[in-house]
Amino acid sequence: MSQYVSRLGSSRAAPRLRFPGGFAGHRKPRRVAMLSVHTSPLHQPGTGDAGGMNVYIVELATRLAAIGTEVEIFTRATTGGLRPSVELAPGVLVRHVDAGPYEGLAKEELPAQLCAFTHGVMQAWAGQRPGYYDLVHSHYWLSGQVGWLAAQRWGVPLVHAMHTMAKVKNAALAEDDTPEPAARVIGETQIVHAADRLIANTSGEADELVRFYDADPASVAVVHPGVNLERFRPADGRAAARARLGLPQDALIPLFAGRIQPLKAPDVLLRAVAVLLDRDPSLRSRILVPVVGGPSGSGLAKPEGLQKLAARLGIADVVRFHPPVGQDQLADWFRAASVLVMPSYSESFGLVAIEAQAAGTPVVAAAVGGLPVAVRDGVSGFLIQGHDPEAYAQALGRFAESAELAGRMGEAAAAHALSFGWDTAASSTADVYTAAMHDHRRRARSHHG
């Protein structure tokens, strides 16, 4: 772990190890081309393939622009009549690229459109003066394939963030989920070796890049994602949020928020609630289980699967399904909940866990991926080994037994989340960019020399 964190895990200490005298004289990028092929930063998280990565890109780009690095985000146009470019925030432009039919293309079908997408990116670049982009930052493997070509063509460094990895997902698959295809594994391996820098959300993810993909440890930088602390905060508390959402004041409310697919394991929460009600039938009158989100990925094959499971388990009366909501209303759902439950099989970070904690709500989560970094076990929530509904029922039972536990852990959760501000993440990312540009220039000089 230390080999990454000591280099670039904190926003300022790392580069001084590399360059005596810090970054004086080492230029930050003026303008970055950010690539997000399969999901637009303008889409609402929780719908289709839009999730934590959308939030990550929007927040990161906005904060980078605020500290002097303009960002242009290239994404695939998914409806007709979109303007070619839209200003998302001052210094942040979203460019829509035509690549394949607007509607009805699944993420799995997008590799066939990467050539068309690359063409659109190259067309946009061709209209600019030489040296317009200083760096390419690609998100997810589909974007990495385009970024690899663009960075080489433009003679600039490529920085890549995996967000999720096929080999890691396949090693921890839900039993009814579909494995990631070999083509993705090959694509990810190519990007790992082509990128000047890889950004990992946690030191655990950095280890996985080295272990599964043979990444060079010196090229991996750990930058924790942030959370919008202005939006996700305790505000006026649980009672007021419940009143606004029409939820009962005295109920135990374990919340699931996210895309409904086997990877996220919302079924584990429902099974845990069934176990809890078996043990204590009196809880039925004071428990409500909101599931906020829409079907996604392999979950689209059985969009009604979760409703049917609730009926089979005999808990349909206490489960409430709610379509995805905007970020401000999501913050209210977090505030209203007694606890957020994240039983995922794989999470590169688990941004939702940090958002809930920032809103003052504890989290019960699977001890996978970045969740052990996001949640302080026993302080801001509970980490569960494995996916046994009994273990989740036990954790939820503690909140049912003690009315004070959610409040006490919620305060600790809000304090814990304060260390995950986006400003820190943006300045750390800018440092990664600067180091990548410095190394790239040095290599180019030695190559020509």
With helix as H, strand as E and coil as C, how does 23-78 read? CCCCCCCCEEEEEECCCCCCCCCCCCCCCHHHHHHHHHHHHHHHCCCEEEEEEECC
pLDDT value at residue 21: 34
* Residue 242 contacts residue 338 (beta carbons within 8 Å): no
3-state SS, residue 381: strand
Looking up tokens 């986006």 gives: 422
Per-residue pLDDT of the chain (449 residues; tens, 9 = 90+): 334 433 333 332 333 223 333 444 578 899 999 999 988 888 755 555 556 788 889 999 999 999 999 999 999 998 888 899 999 999 999 999 999 888 878 878 999 999 999 999 999 999 999 899 999 999 999 999 999 999 999 999 999 999 889 898 888 887 778 899 999 999 999 999 999 999 999 898 999 999 999 999 999 999 998 899 999 999 999 999 999 999 999 999 999 998 888 889 999 999 999 999 999 999 999 999 999 988 766 666 666 889 999 999 999 999 999 998 988 999 999 999 999 999 999 887 888 999 999 999 999 999 998 899 999 999 999 999 999 999 999 999 999 999 899 999 999 999 999 989 899 999 999 999 999 999 999 988 887 76
pLDDT value at residue 48: 55
pTM for this predicted structure: 0.80
Please indicate if the annotation marks 51 as binding a ligand.
Answer: yes
Give the C-alpha distances (Å, rounded to integers) separating 125 from 27, 62, 104, 122, 128: 22, 21, 28, 5, 5
* Residue 151 contacts residue 157 (beta carbons within 8 Å): yes
pLDDT value at residue 44: 58
Residue 196 CB contacts under 8 Å (≥ 6 apart), including other chains: 151, 157, 158, 159, 219, 436, 439, 440
Please indicate if the annotation marks 361 as binding a ligand.
Answer: yes
Please indicate if the annotation marks 44 as binding a ligand.
Answer: yes
Paired tokens of 91: 């210094």
Please indicate if the annotation marks 50 as binding a ligand.
Answer: yes
Please indicate if the annotation marks 265 as binding a ligand.
Answer: no
Please indicate if the annotation marks 259 as binding a ligand.
Answer: yes
Please indicate if the annotation marks 53 as binding a ligand.
Answer: yes
DSSP designation for 172: T
Please indicate if the annotation marks 184 as binding a ligand.
Answer: yes
Please indicate if the annotation marks 140 as binding a ligand.
Answer: yes
Identify the bridge partners of residue 94 per DSSP, sorted by sequence position: 73, 86
Please indicate if the annotation marks 337 as binding a ligand.
Answer: yes
Paired tokens of 396: 């939820």
Q: Which residues of 218-236 are buried (b: 16+ CB within 10 A; e: fewer)?
A: ebbbbbbbbbbbeebbbee
Longest Cα–Cα distance in the chain: 78
* Closest alpha carbon to 95 in 104, 106, 84, 108: 84
pLDDT value at residue 144: 97
Please indicate if the annotation marks 210 as binding a ligand.
Answer: no
Q: What's the CA gap between 207 and 104, in Å, rounded? A: 36
Q: What's the CA gap between 69 and 60, in Å, rounded? A: 11
> For residue 145, what is the enclosing H or E element?
helix 140-154
Please indicate if the annotation marks 284 as binding a ligand.
Answer: no
Paired tokens of 433: 């960019």
* Residue 144 contacts residue 191 (beta carbons within 8 Å): yes
pLDDT value at residue 9: 36
Helices vs. strands in the chain: H and E counts, helices first: 17, 14
pLDDT value at residue 5: 39
* Closest alpha carbon to 439 in 224, 202, 158, 193: 158
